Chain A
Amino acid sequence: MLEYSVSIKYMLAGYTVFLAVPAVYLISLVIRVRNLKRDLQTMKEFQKKNPK
């Protein structure tokens, strides 16, 4: 049988990963959306200034 103190340590490490990895991914999604919105805005302004 594993010692409780050892077992809890690894369990906490595991659940930290379960929370941290999706959290980092969510942050990356938010940043990418923000950057793309900015790019879209820039492109639209460029089109207004330089009509074909």
Chain B
Amino acid sequence: MKPQPVALKVLNVVSVLLFLAALGMVFLYAPLEETMNYVQKIFYFHVANAWVGMLGFIAAAVAGVVYLVKHDQKWDIIELAAVEISLIFFITTIITGSIWARPVWNTWWTWDTRLTTATILEMIYIAYLLLRQGIEDPDRRARFGAVYTIIGAISVPITFLSIRIVSRTIHPVVIGATNGTATGSFNMAPQMLFTMFFALFTFSAIFVTLFWHRIRLGQLAQQVEQLKLEEF
């Protein structure tokens, strides 16, 4: 494995610093929301995690398309890396959403439109990882992965738009007009909005850093697999 490039080392440091700055903004800069008070602070990282999660699933689909065009294994590595990291961010979104919901909605979970579509999205990509493992031939596996992520990506806009299309939902809409049945909505002060966008930027940087590390791991795994195929 080649040593980490300087750009990646810089990204490692920048990601940590941005994360600490984002934490500082959430706790020291963003004002306390009047009704939910402290638990509302989950919102900043919750939205940021959901954002990078969805971004990664779309990136995986793009990598899938490129693989089908070029038939180059490196795009399969990129696709797998994007899915794996997005799953981590998205499961964090679901868990923290549930923690926020307990005091605000008075329940850990409800089969609301957004929660249901988000769960289906997560399941689709968990299944992707499981199914991939069952295919030994690298080319078949990559072809399967490419087609799967392209079709799977359809669930991303469905999840994003679900609370904007369905009128009876309990989940608040962050950007755009919220509906009357939503519980836990709040008026965002300019400092809150700025903190949210800073968190989005921070988690995008963290995503890129992790993505790069995961691609390097994928390249190493490919090298090992290639040697095993040659020998056995």
Interface residues of A (CB under 8 A from B): 1-2, 4, 6-8, 10-11, 13-15, 17-18, 21-22, 25-26, 29, 32-33, 36-37, 39-40, 43-44, 46-47
Chain A CB within 8 A of B175 CB: no
A25 contacts across to B, CB distance below 8 A: 85, 88, 210
Chain A CB within 8 A of B185 CB: no
Chain A CB within 8 A of B224 CB: yes
Q: Are A43 and B37 in contact (CB under 8 A)?
A: no
Residue of B34, B39, B85, B216 with highest tally of chain A CB at under 10 A: B39
Majority secondary structure of chain B interface residues (helix, strand, loop or mixed): helix
Residue of A nearest to B228 (CB): A43
B210 contacts across to A, CB distance below 8 A: 22, 25-26, 29
Interface residues of B (CB under 8 A from A): 1, 34-39, 41-42, 45-46, 49, 85, 88, 91-92, 95-96, 99-100, 102-104, 206, 210, 213-214, 216-217, 220-221, 223-224, 227-228, 231
Q: Are B92 and A18 in contact (CB under 8 A)?
A: yes
> Given B34, B95, B213, B214, which contacts A17 in the complex, CB threshold below 8 Å?
B95
Q: Are A7 and B36 in contact (CB under 8 A)?
A: yes
B223 contacts across to A, CB distance below 8 A: 40
A46 CA to B227 CA, complexed, in Å:
10
Q: Are B224 and A36 in contact (CB under 8 A)?
A: yes
Q: Are B103 and A2 in contact (CB under 8 A)?
A: yes
A8 contacts across to B, CB distance below 8 A: 38-39
A2 CA to B184 CA, complexed, in Å:
12
Q: Are B100 and A47 in contact (CB under 8 A)?
A: no
Q: Are B217 and A32 in contact (CB under 8 A)?
A: yes
Q: Are A4 and B37 in contact (CB under 8 A)?
A: yes
Residue of A14, A33, A43 with highest tally of chain B CB at under 10 A: A14
A39 contacts across to B, CB distance below 8 A: 224
A2-B37, A17-B99, A22-B92 known; A11-B42 Cβ under 8 A: yes
Q: Are A36 and B217 in contact (CB under 8 A)?
A: yes
A21-B92, A37-B1 known; A14-B228 Cβ under 8 A: no
Residue of A nearest to B224 (CB): A39
> In the complex, what's the smallest C-beta–C-beta distance from A27 to chain B, in angstroms?
12
